[in-house]
Amino acid sequence: MNNDSINLLKECDAGCKNATNSMEQVLGFIQDSKLKDVINVYNKQHIEIGNQCHNLLNKYGSNEKDPQPMARAMTFITTEVKMMSGNTTQKAAEIMMDGCSMGIKTVSGYINKYSGANSESVRMANKIVKLEQDFIEDLRGFL
């Protein structure tokens, strides 16, 4: 297993953890049951992909990567402040969409950065990008 493949999987794993942390944080503010259902579906899918990345990393003899503590803290604080200011359904959808956009940009950047990654790792990264795109589409109705 080459380093590009391992590094790409580590970034995908950390990104899925960031996503699930944000979704679980936002769920505590949401009253709209339909939005909760949508977020729960995508949270489950992010957990599944993160587990797949983790399993591949174990298979290749590498450790998982946790999100950076400072980035995690900043995201947490920003989300808390945004969710306290007004329409929680719309705000939650906006926060989730912003996170999806960031995920698409970040994972796409890592696909380019780790261009020597094997097809299995790239396929996993592209799976995340597609999941984020689908999540954005499903969130549009809550804006």
**Structure confidence by residue, pLDDT tens digits, 56-68:** 999 988 876 666 6
Band (pLDDT 50/70/90 cuts) for residue 47 is very high
Per-residue confidence band for 46, with pLDDT thresholds at 50, 70 and 90:
very high
Q: How far is it, in rounded angstroms, from Cα 127 to Cα 108?
A: 11
CB 136 within 8 A of CB 100: yes
Q: 1 pLDDT exceeds 80? A: no
Confidence (pLDDT) at 77: 72
Spans of all domains in the chain: 3-142
Does residue 87 have a pLDDT over 70?
no
May I ask the CATH class of domain 3-142?
Answer: mainly alpha
Q: What is the SS3 assignment for 110?
A: helix
CA 83 to CA 89: how far, in whole Å?
A: 9
CB contact at 8 A, 139 and 93: yes
Residue with token string 């977020």: 39
Give me the mean pLDDT over the 64-84 stretch: 70
Task: Supply the pTM of this predicted model.
Answer: 0.89
> How far is 90 from 35, CA to CA, in rounded Å?
10
Give the number of other Cβ atoms within 10 Å of residue 61's Cβ: 8
